[in-house]
Structure 1
Amino acid sequence: MTIIFHKVHGSGNTFYLHEEIPNMFYNWPLTAQKMCNPSNENGADGLLIISQSTKADAKMRVYNADGSEASMCGNGLRCVARFVLTKLGVTVATIETMKAVLSVQQVEPIFKSIDTYKVEISPVSFKLTSLPMKHKNHKQIVNEVMPEFSLDIHFTAVSVPNPHLIGIVPIHYIEDTQFQEQLATSFNIDNEHFPDGVNVSFVHPVDESSIFVRTFERGVGFTNACGTAMTASALVSATINLVPYGEITVYNPGGFVKCEIEKNENHVHLSLIGNATFFATYSGELTEDGEFIINSVILHEHEINEYKELELQAQKNVNDGWSSNEYL
């Protein structure tokens, strides 16, 4: 049977996206491993599967490049939102994820005519049990230096619902990724702190209302961007007064997004706003052992080129911000 996969990305976080045919069953963890391998059309960070839902307009499942399943994916959710909203001919819908039913909507372009979507990120918890994380007798960790991790990085642990360890770092940790990779790798093998692993992000301010985030994703490694990590990083930055609450621009190696952090008494509402770019459509056959045999490819060159312009503008904005002594 001929099936379709779209190659998509949100902020340079790349995925294969497929709408599942009812009553057809495939080994999606194995397929994710095969399709996301760099030897296959440069690979991808994950696989997004859209299916029918009894709770929402559609259901999303997310498989990392290693075949593990993630609770949520903010960048992937925007791409799923674009597919579902276009199919239904609407601008607002709901998508069922592993932990919650989330609202999605099409909004004004974030840059030129780029397709842009706003998605809800939920649930949110600072409880260490929600990640889960074990650290002495702590019930939560907010803006703390933990000497066994680092002597000069303030960490916060939060789930949104994917588990995140957010470090506010001096700029040399952004310029040289070696320490972040070593630390994150140690937390994603057998360790005493994170039994299920954790996403590790390093954050440095760009200006008074924007930050730069680099993320080492659980089950993937370094990616151009991670939607839940960017949202978690914006939340943490606002919580510790690095930036004000409201709309925060979050730059990353793959471009930028906007995060809305709304706080009302003890309740926090998070939204992620950014591109949903479809840059290729593949038609072919999927074998039982997860191999996708491509018959035809359509490249969406206008979307590819327009996003390259966004990337260049994002790099310029970051460099301009860091040229100020205040943010070095």
Structure 2
Amino acid sequence: MMIHNDTVSTFKVPFTFMSGAGNTFYFFDNREFIILDKSNFTKEVYNSDFLRKADGCIFIENSTDADFKMHYFNSDGTDGMMCGNGGRCAIRFVIHKNLFQNKPLSFCADGHVYKAELINDEVILELKPASEINLNQELNVNNLKIKYHSINTGAPHCVIFLHENLNVFPRLLNEIDVKNIGKEIRNHKNFPAGINVNFCEVINDTKIVNRTYERGVEDETLACGTGSAAGAFISNKLGYTGNECSVLVQSGETLKVFIKSSDSSIKLQGSAHLLFEGVLNYDSISEKISL
């Protein structure tokens, strides 16, 4: 990879396309700061006609506080704060590229240091302790009163349980219009900065199903790591599930969430796969990409 300088404007930028339980990302080794305007670059990637759509872009960079820094951008170019599935994929990425081999590995994201490791072909990630927990709230959407709970698991989440809103939503999770209802709630005045919206169905005391409308992607995604953690944590807090919870996501995969009630710590475990790799041409002056 070439280092950005004033005499060369076009660079070959390798990329890796990855999936974390269905959450998809383009990964870039940006330790030499080839890509300066990461927000615009992400929008270029998402809006290109020749690349597969993804939920966001992740840039691996140097860090003085951890093994590396993970900088995540949503597909619309906004800074995505922390991404649970992205963080798990980052561990798989740096191991695949032989960048780091420590066990466990640490990375910095959104000002917090996270630890994770690869165990039996899955990545388990220790999220930051849950915060900003507000239970049994109510909002009005199109004259419908919806009971919800909110929490921050590295990103802000609204959690809605079907059985708490039987007078509002269909009884089956797969019948909910997640994109349109999620958009209404994401932009609700109760959440001035916007919020990720999770619709959850409790199956039993060890399993829930979760569908997420993601802020920044502005659509339902096939999986959301911090959203799955949010749903499992609130479910545990309300007594619906225990400290270990399996979360079935829209991709059909299952994430495992481990909760420690004493300090609100959360661990997230699941698959992280490399799907394909390639190289982009990046013009740093026009900030355009091509194959």
State the distance in 1 between where 2:269 and 2:162 align. 24
- The structure carrying a bigger strand percent of its residues is 2
Structure 1 residues 40 and 262, CA gap change in structure 2 (3 angstroms): farther
Identity %: 26
Q: Residues 254-273 of structure 1: matches in 2 within 5 Å?
A: 254=251, 255-264=253-262, 267-273=263-269
Using the TM superposition, give the Cα deviation of residue 173 of structure 1 relative to its aligned residue in structure 2, in angstroms. 5.6
What are the Cα deviations for residues 158-184 of structure 1, in whole angstroms up to 9, with x where unaligned?
011211000011463622232x43333
Using the TM superposition, give the Cα deviation of residue 119 of structure 1 relative to its aligned residue in structure 2, in angstroms. 0.6
State the distance in 2 between where 1:147 and 1:188 align. 12
Match of 1:303 in 2: none
TM-score using structure 2 length: 0.86
- Pairing 1:104–2:101 present: no
**Secondary structure of 1:36's match?**
helix
What are the Cα deviations for residues 231-281 of structure 1, in whole angstroms up to 9, with x where unaligned?
111101111111112x211001111111111112xx111010011100000
Using the TM superposition, give the Cα deviation of residue 292 of structure 1 relative to its aligned residue in structure 2, in angstroms. 3.0
Is the Cα–Cα contact under 8 Å of residues 28 and 290 in structure 1 kept in the other structure?
no
**Secondary structure of 1:231's match?**
helix
**Secondary structure of 1:35's match?**
helix
State the distance in 2 between where 1:207 and 1:119 align. 24
Match of 2:4 in 1: none
The letter of the residue matching 2:123 is Y
State the distance in 2 between where 1:43 and 1:259 align. 27
Backbone CA RMSD of aligned residues? 2.0
What are the Cα deviations for residues 210-242 of structure 1, in whole angstroms up to 9, with x where unaligned?
110000000111100111000111101111111
TM-score using structure 1 length: 0.77
State the distance in 2 between where 1:43 and 1:276 align. 18
Match of 2:166 in 1: none
Using the TM superposition, give the Cα deviation of residue 151 of structure 1 relative to its aligned residue in structure 2, in angstroms. 5.5
Q: Residue 154 of structure 1 is aligned with which of 128, 143, 147?
A: 147
**Secondary structure of 2:94's match?**
helix
Q: Residues 2-41 of structure 1: matches in 2 within 5 Å?
A: 2-37=12-47, 39-41=49-51
Structure 1 residues 205 and 53, CA gap change in structure 2 (3 angstroms): same
State the distance in 2 between where 1:252 and 1:193 align. 26
Gap regions ≥5 residues in structure 2:
1-10, 164-169
Match of 2:248 in 1: 251
Is the Cα–Cα contact under 8 Å of residues 107 and 116 in structure 1 kept in the other structure?
yes
Moved more, 96-105 or 86-95: 86-95
Gap regions ≥5 residues in structure 1:
109-114, 128-140, 295-328
State the distance in 1 between where 2:47 and 2:162 align. 31
Match of 2:180 in 1: 182
Q: Residue 93 of structure 1 is aligned with which of 83, 105, 114?
A: 105
Q: Residues 1-328 of structure 1: matches in 2 within 5 Å?
A: 1-37=11-47, 39-86=49-96, 87=98, 88-108=100-120, 115-127=121-133, 141-144=134-137, 146=138, 148-149=140-141, 153-170=146-163, 172=171, 174-178=173-177, 180-189=178-187, 191-220=188-217, 221-245=219-243, 247-254=244-251, 255-264=253-262, 267-288=263-284, 289-294=286-291
**Secondary structure of 1:148's match?**
strand
What are the Cα deviations for residues 29-61 of structure 1, in whole angstroms up to 9, with x where unaligned?
112112123744331000000000000000001
- The structure carrying a bigger helix percent of its residues is 1
Q: Tell me the matched-pair count.
A: 269
Match of 1:298 in 2: none
**Secondary structure of 1:280's match?**
strand
Structure 1 residues 290 and 212, CA gap change in structure 2 (3 angstroms): farther
Is the Cα–Cα contact under 8 Å of residues 143 and 240 in structure 1 kept in the other structure?
no
Structure 1 residues 156 and 147, CA gap change in structure 2 (3 angstroms): closer
Using the TM superposition, give the Cα deviation of residue 193 of structure 1 relative to its aligned residue in structure 2, in angstroms. 1.3
Using the TM superposition, give the Cα deviation of residue 152 of structure 1 relative to its aligned residue in structure 2, in angstroms. 6.9
Using the TM superposition, give the Cα deviation of residue 71 of structure 1 relative to its aligned residue in structure 2, in angstroms. 1.1
What are the Cα deviations for residues 282-308 of structure 1, in whole angstroms up to 9, with x where unaligned?
1231223444322xxxxxxxxxxxxxx
